[in-house]
Amino acid sequence: MARSNIVTGGTRYINGVIRNVRNIKRRELKPFYNALHEADCIILAGEGRSQSALYIGLGQMDKDVRTVVDIDFPGSNIRDAAPVLEKKYDKIALLVNSGSGETSTPKIMVRQLADYIERTKSDKFTINALVSNTKSSIGQIGERDYGHVVELTGRDTKSETTNGFLKHGIMNDVYELGSLLLFQKMKEAINGNKDYKIVFRKIETESKVVGKIVNKFISSDIYEDAIDNLETRSRITMGGVGPARHVAKMAAIRLQHVKRALGDEAYLSGTFAPRPRAGDILFLISLSGETEPLLGWCKEQKKFGGHVYSIVGRESTLSKKSDSFTIESTPDTFYERAAFALSPLPLHLVERLYQRGFMLPEYILEWLRVQHSVTE
């Protein structure tokens, strides 16, 4: 396969992700971890990619994990649900992922539950937040007896003069991936009934695996071909079901910033995704590679002359019918590793367009500069 422009690495931000997670304070993580370990029920709160990182990381957890949008959640909000929850469970933990600590829905949930705890004096609830700013509205909950806050750095503070960059918040990649890695390893430790210290050992081991997977993926012909097609006037749809849909959503949100600068769009598969056309791109994520809806999407895409790529967990029908990259892993870790593997795509697309002399919005160019500056 002929290569037009080979991508130039551009994954040093992964080193920053690992470094930030390594630097989490043990004294902060211990009560945070213990609250989740002891809880009978964990309620998840987040928005956008933070929400996806939380859902992926806490997937397949050996506890009752709920969200406010669950069809059987006992109330329209956490305040209404709290009296019902404490009758059903002995210990309930609200788990929030918010890089800024100011995200609207999680902030409302924290305030409502804090008001309920203080009004009723209930000792069944804890509020546990992962933020990049402990002085934020959500971060300040750590000052309460029932609040536990862990600081994870990663949100950029050097680009305050770049209005578009701040508006779109594209540099959150480092924080979101770091939070995903942390939640994944906390989940594994809790499922194994281990002490919080094991989380850091798991992070060290996983960081080496993730690094190898990302490097192998970006060195592949499949990846280079995907970048070649992404820089054309084409739409891209990211697809998956179950946990894979959250991986697809993280990638789609990030790609959307760059594709819109080209006059194109990035979509998440489903009702609102457009019908395929010649030259469009479909990128699918599937552990089994045998999921019926994905095979149907793949068939339709190829019927109309589109490109189909996939990340799978094993040799399968999907891997044979698409340009595919295999991540060999357990079901428990596949989705986290797939999210890391896909993370360089927008960055390398920006780099390619910049090499071509394409005039990109300043906030996207700033993202490129900051990402490349993140080193060990």
Domain boundaries, the chain: 12-209, 214-373
Q: What is the pLDDT of residue 2?
A: 41
pLDDT in tens, the chain (376 residues): 344 454 445 567 788 899 999 999 999 999 999 999 999 999 999 999 999 999 999 999 999 999 999 999 999 999 999 999 999 999 999 999 999 999 999 999 999 999 999 999 999 999 999 999 999 999 999 999 999 999 998 765 444 333 333 333 344 578 999 999 999 999 999 999 999 999 999 999 999 999 999 999 999 999 999 999 999 989 999 999 999 999 999 999 989 988 988 889 999 998 889 999 999 999 999 999 999 999 999 999 999 999 999 999 999 999 999 999 999 899 999 999 999 999 999 888 988 888 888 877 776 766 656 555 443 3
Q: What's the first-to-final CA gap in the chain, in angstroms?
A: 33
The reply to whether the predicted model has a pTM over 0.85 is: yes
Give the pLDDT score at 255.
92
What is the identity of the amino acid at 276?
P
Rounded to the nearest 5 degrees, what angle is found at the Cα of 271, between the Cα atoms of 289 and 342? 45
Q: Rounded to the nearest 10 degrees, how much is the dihedral formed by the CA atoms of 74, 79, 83, 85?
A: 50
Tokens linked to 288: 């089994």
Instruction: Check the CA dihedral 79-81-85-88 and report its sign.
Output: positive
Among 223, 157, 163, 171, residue whose Cα is nearest residue 369: 171
**Dist. CA 127–CA 148, nearest whole Å:** 6
Structure tokens at 222: 């499949």
According to the model, what pLDDT value does residue 155 have? 64
> What residues contact 313, with CB distance under 8 A and at least 6 apart?
286, 287, 288, 289, 326, 327, 328, 329, 331, 334
CA distance 252 to 250: 6
CATH architecture designation of domain 12-209: 3-Layer(aba) Sandwich (3.40)
Provide the pLDDT for residue 290: 97
pLDDT given at position 30: 98
Give percent helix, percent strand, percent coil of the chain, each to the nearest 5.
Answer: 55, 15, 35
d(CA 192, CA 34): 13
DSSP 182-221: HHHHHHHHHHTT--THHHHHHHHHHHHHHHHHHHHHHTSH
- The superfamily (CATH) of domain 214-373 is Glucose-6-phosphate isomerase like protein; domain 1 (3.40.50.10490)
SS3 235: coil
Query: Judging by DSSP bridges, how do beta strands 147-151 and 125-131 pair with one another?
Result: parallel
